[in-house]
Amino acid sequence: MYKFSLVILAFLIFSGCAISKNLKKDDGPCPGIHDPNAKVRLKAVMKCKDKDTLASVVLEDESLRVRGRAVKRIRSVSLLKELEGDVQDDDALPDEAREKLRAYIQEWRTVLQDKLKWKRMPRTMPEAEFLKAEKEPVTDADKAARTKALFELVNATRVKRGTYAVAWSPSLAKVAEAHVADLEKHPPQGKCNLHSWSSDGPWVPCCYTPDHKNAKCVTSKPGELTAYKGKGFENAAWDSLRMTPEQAVLGWLQSDGHRVVMLSQNEWKNPPWKALGVAISEHYAVIWFGHEPDPATHKKPVASKTGKGKTSQPEPNTIQELTPQNLEKVLETEKILVVVFTATYCGACKKLMPSLPKINKKLGSRVKIVTFTTDTNRSAGLLVKSLRAQSLRGVPTVWIKLPDTKKGKWDYQMAGLADGNVLQDILILLIAGEKPKIQMM
C-alpha cells in the first residue's frame, strides 16, 4: 500500500511538472505572461515585446494593473486605437474599470502620437515638408473660421439627430478659448486628462482624473473666468496633427460619455442646454455647455454720460493710485476690489509692491487693484473715512471687497500682508467662489 502511494505521488508530481511546462510553452514569446500570480505576470509584461501577446493581456487579464502596464508596452498607435474600441465594447468589464483602462490607452496613445506623428502623414508628403507645415502658425482668421465651423457642426449634428440647436455663449467661449490655450502650453501629464487646468492662469488649478471625483474642477470654471452664473460642462478632444471640427465631433460621437453630453441624451436630456461656447486650437478642441442663458449674449452697450449714442469704454486693466477724484468710480467696479495701503518708508511694502503688476496681469480680468500711499496722499484721512469709518492700523494693509458687497462694507482686511504669492492665492480662491481662511484684523 505504501509503495502504491509513492507511485501515485510520483505520478502527480510528474504530471504537475508536465502541466507547468505546457503552461510555460503556451506563454509563447513572453514567459510567465499567464502565471496565476499577478506579480509574476506584471514582471513578464515588463519584459514582453510581442504586441499581439500584449494586446491579449490588455483584453483578457484579470488584473487592471497588469492590463494598464501592458498598454504602455505597446508601441503601435493603430493597435491602441483598436484596443480602445474593443475595451469600450467589453460588457464583462465593470464600468469603472472600463473607463480607467480606456484612460490608460488614450493617455499612452497621446504620448506615442507625439513621437510618431510624422509617420501618420500621407507618403506623398516627405517628413521634412511635414515638419515645416507643423511649424506654420495658425492665423487668427483660420482660428475664427474653424471656431465658427465647430459651433455650426455641433449644432447641425444635434439637429440632425433629433434635438435642438443651442445658443452661442460669449462667456463659455471665453472659458473654452482659455482652456485650449492652457492645454497647448501645458499638456496634461500622468493621470490628469484633458479636463485638467494648469496653475498658469487666473483659475483654480486641478488634475481631472477619469473617476470624476474632481468634477468641480470643470463646473466652476465659467464662474472663475466670467460673469456666467451657472455651471459649465465640457467635451474635449486632442489630435497630434492639426485638429479639425470634423475630427473633434467624430471623436465625441464615437465615445459614449461624450456623445450623450453633446446630443443631450440620457441623464443629460434635462435640464436643457441653453448656452454653448467652443474653441479650437492647433491640437485641441473643446465645447462648453451650460444650463443657464448667458447674460453676455443679450448685453446691450451702456450709454455714456458724456454724449448721446456713445458707449462707455471698458474698465482699464491698470493699477491706479486712489484719489478723491476716482474714488466713486473705483467703488462702482464690478470686479473684486483690492485696495493696497502702503507708504514710502515701509520696508515690507517694498516687498509686496513689485508683485502687484504680476497679479494684475494674471487676474486683471476679474480683479481691480488700486494702491493708496498714506504718507504722500494729502487726502489720506478723508479717503480712509470715505472707504470706511475706521482708522488704518498700519501698512502694508490690504482690503478686499467682493462685487456683491454693499457700498461701505469690506469683506476682508489684512494688516501686515507682504507676500504677493499669498495675496494671489487668496484672490484665486475668491474668484472660484471659495472662502479662504484669513486671519482678520
pLDDT at 181: 94
> Which cell goes with 54?
500584449
Helix (H) or strand (E) holding 112: helix 95-116
Q: Quick one: DSSP state of residue 95?
A: H
* pLDDT tens column, 60-96: 888 888 888 888 788 787 888 888 888 888 888 888 8
C-alpha 254: how far from its chain's center?
A: 21
Cα–Cα distance list, 437 to 403, 411, 425 (Å):
19, 12, 11
pLDDT at 290: 95
pLDDT at 134: 40
Q: What is the mean pLDDT of the chain?
A: 78
Amino acid at 142: D
Q: Quick one: DSSP state of residue 168?
A: B
DSSP string, 361-419: HHHTTTEEEEEEETTT-TTHHHHHHHH-SS----SSEEEEE-TTSPTT--SEEEET---
Global pTM exceeds 0.85: no
